[in-house]
Chain A
Amino acid sequence: MSNRFYRNKWLPLWLASPQLVVLFFFFYLPVFLAFFWSFHLERPFGGGSQFVGWQNFERVLSDPEFWTSLWRTLTYMVVASSTSIICALVLALAADRGIRMSPLARNVLIWPKAVAAASIGVIFLFIFNPFMGILAPLNEMFPGFWNPRINPVHTWIMIYIANIWSAIPFTFIILLTGLQSIPDTLHKAAAIDGAGPWRRLFDIQLPLLTPQLFIVVVLEIADSLSGSFALIDTMSQGGPGGATNLLVYKIYVDGFKAYDLSGAATQTAMLMIVVAAVTAFQYLVVEKRVKYER
């Protein structure tokens, strides 16, 4: 930080103040309010709040639906981020070979970035429609072969495919950039020493890719959480039978459809703690094992 040239005392505060004001209103204040309402109840007929201690937490924590929803959310975070990262990693490894297909693939694989998760939800809902969509002929031959409106497994398959589709660009580009910055000489030296392609993959490429893999895992886990809302709201609305009712969606329904402000705020506060804990764990524990030097 040797750029710190100017000695003005208050000018930096003025320069940063617009961002600080925006952050105060739409980041710090909402975080505070989530915790505030988790310890308060709204008085009936409007008219302020009433301190109720841990009562909201007791209510939420004794609701089995909260626990299944939290468990589902954690499972979704793990499965959604790992499936999309593995797909993007395989594609990045292939594109890194510098074959004739690579430039075209680099171009095409960024396109999903332009399609909103909600739009791809609408599109996949049509493509996977059991009666009108691409699998309709199979459904006619084997009735009940595919029905995401009734069978939760089918619904999840549909959501995971949509998630992979929209998560590919970001992960692919970052991993490909990481792979291409691995010096070619390392490959050559290892090949001369008799290391085959598989050996080089596990002993050179993947270890040297850990910084990129780390950042991709952190971002994908956070992204899978907030991205899931658009997919679920457009494709399944938490159904069938509540099978895809992730915590983000449940909070939305509790707050905006059932008008349970304190309940929704309590769950928001707990979701924030979970996400902050996951991120902190990644930075404090996992990042230590990441090799940054080349």
Chain B
Amino acid sequence: MIEDTRSINTTATLLLMAGCAFVLAPLVFVVITATQSYGDFLRNNFSLTPGSHLVENFRQVWEMTLLPRQTFNSFVIAFASAFGRCFLAFTTAYAVVFFAPRYSIFIYAAVLASIMLPLDLMVIPAYQVAANVAMPINAVANLGGGWETLFGAPLDLQLNLLNTYAGAAIPLMAQGTGTLIMVQYFKTLPVDLAKAATLDGASPLRFMVDILLPLSKGPLLSLFIYLFIGGWVAYMWPLVSISSPDMQTAVVGLTALDTGMGEDEIPNFPLQMAGAIMVTVIPLVLIALTQRLIVRGLILSEK
């Protein structure tokens, strides 16, 4: 180091310890509480003595609640939305970076505008769209009574996406962050890549699939993990777009977890905390295993 900085380093160590303790404390409390039985918990209130009921609590969550099914739903929705966003980001970024026509600037601008307003700010109109995706087709066909004069009745197509996986996952894809990241990445690639592929007789689509896709494996994977976790922890859109508990995601399911207690009783907190572990364990393991990728994804999204 540059100078004698022992006191600064001690302060820094203490600060980092405090930060880690702040982050870890709630997680430790959750795990300890999840090991206690409801009876223990009522007797001792909040205590840091682990009980022996962890397995029993998990069994109860597994058998008595909808959380296992909802965890599966979370997996499907998070996977579909992350995969979809990676696919859309990849093709759009390719179109924006590698093609000469100037109108692609407008495409890029139209995509970037979506970063400004997250879905959570417009759940009310987005809910209306999901309730009948055919609405704009109806509106155009019925403009000025056009369809009615031709066919006798106004066009009324119905396609309801509420309570479906598609309805939960597709709106989560309407966000341009992934495209921004892929565009930044493509711009760092050598200019002559496409030229060389063309000389070898590859069409633009073939170049995209056989050369660009393998080259983008790293960034796409970190983007995927980042977006998967984003889809997993999404709360507001699943809450409004899914009303049947069978189709609900685990994060929303946890907040409405029925612990088998009546309205006036003290909730079964140990059971609830076991549920919290179940909801969190998949993304947490994913983060622990793919530290580097996540960090790279976070840093990419900054640019």
**Contact indicator A108/B23 (Cβ below 8 Å):** yes
**Contact indicator B19/A91 (Cβ below 8 Å):** yes
**Contact indicator B95/A15 (Cβ below 8 Å):** yes
- Any B CB within 8 A of the CB of A284: no
- Residues of chain B within 8 A (CB-CB) of A272 are 117, 121-122
**Contact indicator B19/A109 (Cβ below 8 Å):** yes
**Contact indicator B284/A114 (Cβ below 8 Å):** yes
- Residues of chain A within 8 A (CB-CB) of B272 are 122, 126
Q: B108-149: which have CB < 8 Å to A?
A: 110-111, 113-114, 116-130, 133, 136
**Contact indicator A123/B116 (Cβ below 8 Å):** no
Residues of chain B touching chain A, judged by Cβ–Cβ distance below 8 Å, are: 2-3, 5, 8-9, 11-13, 15-17, 19-20, 22-24, 26-27, 29-30, 33, 41, 45-46, 84, 87-89, 91-92, 94-101, 103-104, 107, 110-111, 113-114, 116-130, 133, 136, 170-171, 173-176, 179, 186-187, 189, 191, 194-195, 198, 204-205, 229, 232-236, 239-240, 251-252, 254-255, 266, 269, 272-273, 276, 279-280, 283-284, 286-288, 291, 294-295, 298-299, 302
Residues of A in contact, count (CB < 8 Å):
102
Given contact pairs A110-B294, A118-B235, A122-B254, A23 touches B287 in the complex (Cβ within 8 A): no
Of B204, B255, B279, the contact of A8 (CB 8 Å cutoff): B204
Given contact pairs A91-B19, A233-B255, A18 touches B235 in the complex (Cβ within 8 A): no
- Any B CB within 8 A of the CB of A55: no
- Any B CB within 8 A of the CB of A226: yes
- Any B CB within 8 A of the CB of A34: yes
**Contact indicator A8/B124 (Cβ below 8 Å):** no
**Contact indicator B125/A30 (Cβ below 8 Å):** yes
In the complex, 22 of the A-B residue pairs with CB atoms within 8 angstroms, ordered by the A residue number, are A2-B191, A3-B191, A5-B191, A6-B204, A15-B95, A16-B91, A16-B107, A19-B92, A23-B174, A26-B119, A29-B129, A34-B124, A94-B12, A101-B13, A104-B20, A112-B23, A113-B283, A115-B280, A187-B2, A197-B5, A226-B120, A275-B117
**Contact indicator A15/B92 (Cβ below 8 Å):** yes
Residue from the set B104, B113, B120 with the largest chain A CB neighbour count within 10 Å: B120
- Residues of chain A within 8 A (CB-CB) of B95 are 11-13, 15-16
In the complex formed, the residue of B with least CB distance to A166 is B233
Query: In the complex, A173→B291 CA distance in Å?
Result: 11
Chain B nearest CB: distance from A188 CB in Å? 6
- Any B CB within 8 A of the CB of A74: no
**Contact indicator A118/B254 (Cβ below 8 Å):** yes
In the complex formed, the residue of A with least CB distance to B252 is A118
**Contact indicator A94/B117 (Cβ below 8 Å):** no
In the complex formed, the residue of B with least CB distance to A198 is B8
**Contact indicator A120/B100 (Cβ below 8 Å):** no
Given contact pairs A3-B187, A5-B194, A23-B174, A132 touches B19 in the complex (Cβ within 8 A): no
